[in-house]
Amino acid sequence: MDGNGRWAQKRGLPRTEGHAAGEEALVDTVNGALDIGVKWLTMFAFSTENWKRPVDEVRFLMGFNSSLLERRRDELHEKGVRIRFMGRRDWRVPKKATATMVRSEEMTAQNRTLTLTMAFNYGGRTEIIDAVKSIVEQNIPAKNINEHTIKSHLYLPDQPDPDLLIRTSGEYRLSNFLLWQAAYTELVFTPVLWPDFRRQHLFEAIEEYQRRDRRFGEIRQDNSIPHPNENSESRKMRVQP
């Protein structure tokens, strides 16, 4: 969810106003995803690198994210959204924010309409480091280590690799997001700043995704060779609700 600061700057507002304006984008995007039957949606909310920002902005983001969750979770719960978090829950995350996250996860744990994952205090490299640590701690012999071993030690092992990744605000990088999982993800870049992002932009990105030819390293002129991922929900998504 990138571009909040620039959105605010363009209007002569403090950066925090941009973060606040991002709430509407989040709500509309989640509702749009629900309308077209997206099953998995992951949002990058706060990275392991974002701690380097001025302390006031970090403090605002912690408080804002946790109050947003408190304001919105009942409505999400009613719509069948399972809320999850991925990232490190270290000492820098205020206790109140952690408690709100845990409570929201518990409250919505049985929901399956849409799994909404908030990447919070998340970094792709940190996730891989944590996976390696846990593999070593379990004394898994080197000869037994394969892709599945790594995947099963990531923060959310049951989460499928993303079919589509949308980067907002005209930047062309992954910025440490889902590094392992995005190996074959289709990337869509949009100049739209996050506070201006709406469901229509999600639908446009999905339409772009549907025009792509995914080969996963194979050579295929047609779609006759099924790939395991081809049964994934995104293939069946209707863009128009």
| Binding region for ligand IPE (CB under 6 A) | 1-6, 46, 50, 61, 169, 194
Q: Which is nearer to ligand IPE, 10 or 238 (CB)?
A: 10
Which member of 31, 50, 111, 176 is catalytic?
Answer: 50
| Binding region for Mg ion (CB under 5 A) | 2
CB of 31 to ligand IPE, least distance (A): 20
Active site residue 2: yes
Question: Rounded to 5 degrees, what angle do the CA atoms 52, 53, 59 make?
Answer: 110
Partner from Mg ion, ligand IPE, none binding residue 61, C-beta < 5-8 Å depending on class: ligand IPE
Partner from ligand IPE, Mg ion, none binding residue 190, C-beta < 5-8 Å depending on class: none
Active site residue 31: no
Partner from Mg ion, ligand IPE, none binding residue 1, C-beta < 5-8 Å depending on class: ligand IPE
| Cβ-closest position to ligand IPE | 5
Task: Just list the catalytic residues.
Answer: 2, 50
